Structure 1
Amino acid sequence: MPASNLSYSELPERAAKVLEHFFPDEELIAKRVAEFTDVSPREPDPDGSTEVLDGVTFTHHTVDVDGDKELVRFHWAECGEGEPIVFLHGIPDSWYQWHHQMASLAGEYRCIGIDLKGYGQSEKSPGDYRHEAAAEQLLLALDAMGVERFNLVTHDRGTVQGDYLAANHPDRVLRYGRGEQHLYHFHPSLAPQGPMFAEAPRTGIMDDPRRFVVWLYTWISSVEIPDDEMRRVIQEYSYEDCFRAAPRYFNSSTFRQEWIDRRERLLQAWTCPVMILQGYDSKTQPREFYENAREYLPNAADVRVRYVHAGHFWSMESPEELTGHLRELLGM
Structure 2
Amino acid sequence: MSGPEYTELPERAAKILENFLPPDEKIGERMQYFAHVQPRAGDQEGDTEIIDGVTFTHHFVDAPGDYETVRWHYVECGNKDAEKIVFLHGIPDSWYEWCHQMAAFAREYHCIGVDLKGYGQSDKKGGNYQHEAVSEQLWAMLQQIGVKQFNVITHDRGTVQADFIAANHPESVLRYGRGEQHLYNFHPALAPQGDLFMDAPYNGMLDDPKYTVLWGYTWLTVRPIPDAEMERVIQEFSYEGIRKAVPRYFSSSTFRQEWLARRNRLLGAWKCPVMILQGYDSKTQPREFYEGVEQHIPNARSVEVRYIPGGHFWTKESPKESIEAIRELLKM
Q: How does 1:96-107 map to 2 (within 5 A)?
A: 96-107=96-107
Letter of the 1:144 partner, please give it: Q
Residue deviations 1:123-158 (CA, integer Å, cap 9, x gap): 000100000000111111101210110000000000
1:7 and 2:5 correspond: yes
Q: How does 1:1-150 map to 2 (within 5 A)?
A: 4-81=2-79, 82-150=82-150
Which residue of structure 2 lines up, in the alignment, with residue 279 of structure 1? 279
Contact 1:4 1:260 in 2 (8 A): no
Which residue of structure 1 lines up, in the alignment, with residue 202 of structure 2? 202
| CA distance in structure 2 between the aligned counterparts of 1:25 and 1:79, rounded to whole angstroms | 39
| CA distance in structure 2 between the aligned counterparts of 1:17 and 1:290, rounded to whole angstroms | 18
| CA distance in structure 1 between the aligned counterparts of 2:206 and 2:225, rounded to whole angstroms | 21
**Aligned sequence identity (%):** 63
Q: What is the DSSP-based 3-state SS (H/G/I as helix, E as strand, rest coil) of the residue aligned with 1:282? A: coil
Residue deviations 1:227-268 (CA, integer Å, cap 9, x gap): 000000000000011111001000000000000000001000
Residue deviations 1:110-129 (CA, integer Å, cap 9, x gap): 00000000000000001000
Contact 1:167 1:266 in 2 (8 A): yes
Residue deviations 1:252-306 (CA, integer Å, cap 9, x gap): 0000000000000100000000000000000000000001110110000000000
Which residue of structure 1 lines up, in the alignment, with residue 187 of structure 2? 187
Unaligned runs of 5+ in 1: none
Contact 2:170 2:270 in 1 (8 A): yes
Structure 1 stretch displaced more, 64-73 or 124-133: 64-73
Contact 2:198 2:251 in 1 (8 A): yes
Q: How far is 1:4 from its partner?
A: 3.9
Letter of the 1:270 partner, please give it: W
Q: How far is 1:71 from its partner?
A: 1.4
Q: How many residues align?
A: 330
Unaligned runs of 5+ in 2: none
1:260 and 2:272 correspond: no
Letter of the 1:188 partner, please give it: P
| CA distance in structure 2 between the aligned counterparts of 1:167 and 1:247, rounded to whole angstroms | 25
1:289 and 2:289 correspond: yes
Letter of the 2:212 partner, please give it: F
RMSD: 0.7
Letter of the 1:50 partner, please give it: T
Structure 1 segments of 4 or more deviating over 3 A?
Answer: none
Letter of the 1:173 partner, please give it: V
Q: Give the TM-score of the pair, scaled to structure 1.
A: 0.98
| CA distance in structure 2 between the aligned counterparts of 1:148 and 1:127, rounded to whole angstroms | 25
Which residue of structure 2 lines up, in the alignment, with residue 218 of structure 1? 218
Letter of the 2:301 partner, please give it: A
| CA distance in structure 1 between the aligned counterparts of 2:247 and 2:180, rounded to whole angstroms | 19
Letter of the 2:28 partner, please give it: A
Letter of the 2:128 partner, please give it: D
Q: How far is 1:108 from its partner?
A: 0.2
Q: What is the DSSP-based 3-state SS (H/G/I as helix, E as strand, rest coil) of the residue aligned with 2:170? A: coil
| CA distance in structure 2 between the aligned counterparts of 1:324 and 1:145, rounded to whole angstroms | 28
Letter of the 1:225 partner, please give it: I
| CA distance in structure 1 between the aligned counterparts of 2:174 and 2:160, rounded to whole angstroms | 18
Q: What is the DSSP-based 3-state SS (H/G/I as helix, E as strand, rest coil) of the residue aligned with 1:235? A: helix
Q: What is the DSSP-based 3-state SS (H/G/I as helix, E as strand, rest coil) of the residue aligned with 1:186? A: coil
